[in-house]
Chain A
Amino acid sequence: MINIKLLEIKNLSKEFYKGDKSVIKVLSDISFSVKKGECFVIIGPNGSGKTTLLRLIGLLDTTSNGQIYYNSIDLTTISGKEKVRYRRKFSFVRQKPVVRSTTVFNNITYGLKVRGIKYDDYKQSVNKIIEFIGLKGMENKNASSLSGGEMQRVAIAMNFIINPEVYLLDEVSANLDSINIKLLEDFIMKIKQDKEKTIIMSTHDPLEAIRYADRIAVLNNGQITQIGTPNEIFIAPKDEFTAFFVGYENILYGLAELDISTGLSQIKVGDLIITASSQQEGEVKACIRPESIGIIKEPAKNTSYRNTFKGVIENIRELGNICHLIVRCKSEKFLITITELSRKNLQLKLKSEVYINFKATDVKIL
């Protein structure tokens, strides 16, 4: 990742005026920055302001207050003509796609046409993308007669082909069936591989956030409550809302290799090797739910757990009859949920040396 701020949002707010002159504050005092090549995920419940935030970044609406810097240029003060120029650096894929009432082909190529690119120059790339997105043979169909999933594919194709600097994806996987979600996943992963491209996406699905995010911002009621890496957010949510909404999850980044003798993946995560019941190889994200991890004082013999690590308790959070333990095992931190009763029985305290264990089947690969 190139470590420069591509986008910087400063104290952004947005108010809507209702007919009776009353004001609805949709976003207040939003500040964050996004680096070039990063995938920045905004997670929040419905009505938290995710769409509005993306629309403001995409210059589709005017801000009430604050600045949006793109390569240090404040986009909230530029002229209409400049706005068109900067808008062309973004693409915006909506939750509910809208197409023009013309052929699939004309819809896909519209962004190129308005940029004055000649047909001969884009003919090949159009065919390529039509094939990639699975719309071959449908080029001459009227796009407005397509199903929701097919329409979303058209929307993806028409936003992909303009080759923007920044992809704004607004809850794009909502309302899609599993086949279309898979297509979308391939599409997003393809963009992620290109380190020149930046993604800002919104979602209400924690797993989707983990899958794609380099960093996550939690949006609640028009305010950002926390920004951090998935690990930071899912292990240490800052407030009750975040904890409740995103849930807890141990997220480990590693390199997976298939062990032929066992048929299981060996994932190298920092100084640890984790075994997962998966055949996946290469860069992976492994998720382990905090309640799936067991904790013991002495290393168990003849255990069925594939993963056992020695660690030290770094933090204890008491939450009524359950408690959260943060255990550091060499380079990695694990969040573990146990009952208050078992903590007392095991006499677990800060700095206690412990062993943690979990099954290979409890390691979920994203």
Chain B
Amino acid sequence: MADDIIEGILEALRLMFTFDPELWSVIGTSFRVSLTSTFLAALVALPIGSYIGLREFRGKKILTNLINTFMGFPPVVMGLIIYLLLSHNGPFGALGLLYSTTAMIIAQFLLAVPIIMGTAKAAIESVEPALKETILSLGANERQLWWELIKHSKKSIIAGFLVAFGQAISEVGAVMIVGGNIRWETRTFTTSIVLQTRMGEFGMAIALGVILISIAFIVNYGMTRLQSRVD
């Protein structure tokens, strides 16, 4: 077993430093899918989430509960739902999207939306009331207030975005189900690690694991820097 690990690490180094094309294909797919889905999710979730945070209205509590529930939605179940919708006999089967990166983006988009929405909402709500009042008393209308509060809580909002991205890139269940782990096409870090481990190809698995951990480290480092920075 120890030999396997050492061999695996050596193989990982070889793969990384020889720029193995399959490794790069996996990295490329992972980034493309995770970044696209997180960006699209931010585009939708940021305005809606921050607006919910700004306003007081009937049913806000229920909506908050709903968003919070979906923030912890099991990715495997999301994969299952998207699979059923996109499968040949499903309502959107005719689109032929199953086992494509588009399907993976849809699944991860739906997982990222509540995370970004929830954090944006919480960020806006946590702004001290005195600041909101000061902005209003200086004559801002609702749209201007909204924009000021988004600017004020940009750190928390970016942190939410990074959390969503981190979750997307390390997620395995949903992308496995709807992407199908097709070599050169829909294979990602996580699905590849699962496969290579099963096949006893530890070199590739370890190489991918190291890169994934490095990404996690960089994201976390970015977040720490962000939070400690004084504007």
Q: Residue B133 contacts which of A55, A101, A110, A159 (CB distance < 8 angstroms)?
A: A55
Is A111 in contact with B139, judged by CB distance below 8 angstroms? Answer: yes
Cα separation A292 to B144 with both chains bound (whole Å): 56
Is A87 in contact with B134, judged by CB distance below 8 angstroms? Answer: no
- With A96-B130, A98-B131 known as contacts, the answer to whether A159 contacts B138 (CB < 8 A) is yes
The answer to whether the Cβ of A84 comes within 8 Å of any Cβ in the partner chain is yes
| A interface SS class | mixed
Cβ distance B120 to chain A, nearest Cβ, rounded Å: 18
Q: Residue B128 contacts which of A58, A88, A98, A110 (CB distance < 8 angstroms)?
A: A98
The answer to whether the Cβ of B141 comes within 8 Å of any Cβ in the partner chain is yes
Q: Quick one: which of A55, A102, A114 has the most chain B CB within 10 A? A: A114
Q: Quick one: which of B128, B137, B142 has the most chain A CB within 10 A? A: B137
Is A60 in contact with B138, judged by CB distance below 8 angstroms? Answer: no
Cβ distance B84 to chain A, nearest Cβ, rounded Å: 42
Is B139 in contact with A114, judged by CB distance below 8 angstroms? Answer: yes
Q: Which residue of B lies closest to A92 (CB)?
A: B137
The answer to whether the Cβ of B88 comes within 8 Å of any Cβ in the partner chain is no
Q: Which residue of A lies closest to B140 (CB)?
A: A114
Cα separation A192 to B152 with both chains bound (whole Å): 35
Contact with B along A71-91 (1 / 0, CB 8 A): 000000000110010011011
B residues near A97, Cβ cutoff 8 Å? 134
Contact with A along B99-141 (1 / 0, CB 8 A): 0000000000000000000000000000010110111111111
Number of B residues with CB within 8 Å of any CB on chain A:
17
Q: Residue A100 contacts which of B131, B139, B141, B142 (CB distance < 8 angstroms)?
A: B131
Cβ distance A7 to chain B, nearest Cβ, rounded Å: 16
A residues near B128, Cβ cutoff 8 Å? 98
A residues near B134, Cβ cutoff 8 Å? 92, 94, 97-100, 155
Q: How large is the interface on A (under 10, 10 to 19, 20 to 34, 35 or more residues)?
A: 20 to 34
Is A88 in contact with B135, judged by CB distance below 8 angstroms? Answer: no
Q: Which residue of B lies closest to A142 (CB)?
A: B231
The answer to whether the Cβ of A115 comes within 8 Å of any Cβ in the partner chain is yes
Cβ distance B60 to chain A, nearest Cβ, rounded Å: 15
Q: Which residue of A lies closest to B148 (CB)?
A: A100
Is A80 in contact with B142, judged by CB distance below 8 angstroms? Answer: yes
- With A114-B138, A114-B141 known as contacts, the answer to whether A92 contacts B133 (CB < 8 A) is yes
Q: Which residue of B lies closest to A93 (CB)?
A: B137
Q: Residue B139 contacts which of A101, A142, A162 (CB distance < 8 angstroms)?
A: A162
Q: Residue A114 contacts which of B131, B144, B152, B231 (CB distance < 8 angstroms)?
A: B144
Q: Quick one: which of A90, A110, A144 has the most chain B CB within 10 A? A: A110
Cβ distance B118 to chain A, nearest Cβ, rounded Å: 22
Q: Which residue of A lies closest to B142 (CB)?
A: A80
Q: Which residues of A (121-169) have their CB < 8 Å from a CB of B?
A: 142, 144, 155, 158-159, 162
Cα separation A357 to B152 with both chains bound (whole Å): 62
Cβ distance B229 to chain A, nearest Cβ, rounded Å: 12
B residues near A88, Cβ cutoff 8 Å? 139
Cβ distance B19 to chain A, nearest Cβ, rounded Å: 44
Is A98 in contact with B137, judged by CB distance below 8 angstroms? Answer: no
Cβ distance B136 to chain A, nearest Cβ, rounded Å: 6
Cα separation A225 to B58 with both chains bound (whole Å): 38
Q: Which residues of B (47-91) have their CB < 8 Å from a CB of A?
A: none
A residues near B141, Cβ cutoff 8 Å? 81, 84, 114
Q: Residue B136 contacts which of A60, A96, A144, A155 (CB distance < 8 angstroms)?
A: A60
Is B133 in contact with A60, judged by CB distance below 8 angstroms? Answer: yes
B residues near A81, Cβ cutoff 8 Å? 141
Cβ distance A159 to chain B, nearest Cβ, rounded Å: 7
- With A55-B133, A60-B133, A114-B144 known as contacts, the answer to whether A101 contacts B138 (CB < 8 A) is no
Is A98 in contact with B139, judged by CB distance below 8 angstroms? Answer: no
Cα separation A144 to B231 with both chains bound (whole Å): 10
Q: Given A110-B140, A114-B138, A114-B141, 17 other A-B contacts at CB below 8 A?
A: A80-B142, A81-B141, A84-B140, A84-B141, A87-B137, A87-B139, A90-B137, A91-B138, A94-B130, A97-B134, A98-B130, A100-B135, A101-B152, A111-B139, A114-B144, A159-B138, A162-B138
List 22 A-B residue pairs with CB atoms under 8 Å apart, sorted by A's residue number. Answer: A60-B137, A80-B142, A84-B139, A84-B141, A84-B142, A87-B139, A88-B139, A91-B137, A92-B133, A94-B134, A98-B128, A98-B130, A98-B134, A100-B134, A100-B152, A102-B231, A111-B139, A114-B138, A142-B231, A144-B231, A159-B138, A162-B138
Closest 5 CB pairs of A and B: A92-B137, A111-B138, A88-B139, A98-B130, A98-B134
Instruction: Show the binding face of B for A, using Cβ within 8 Å.
Output: 128, 130-131, 133-142, 144, 148, 152, 231
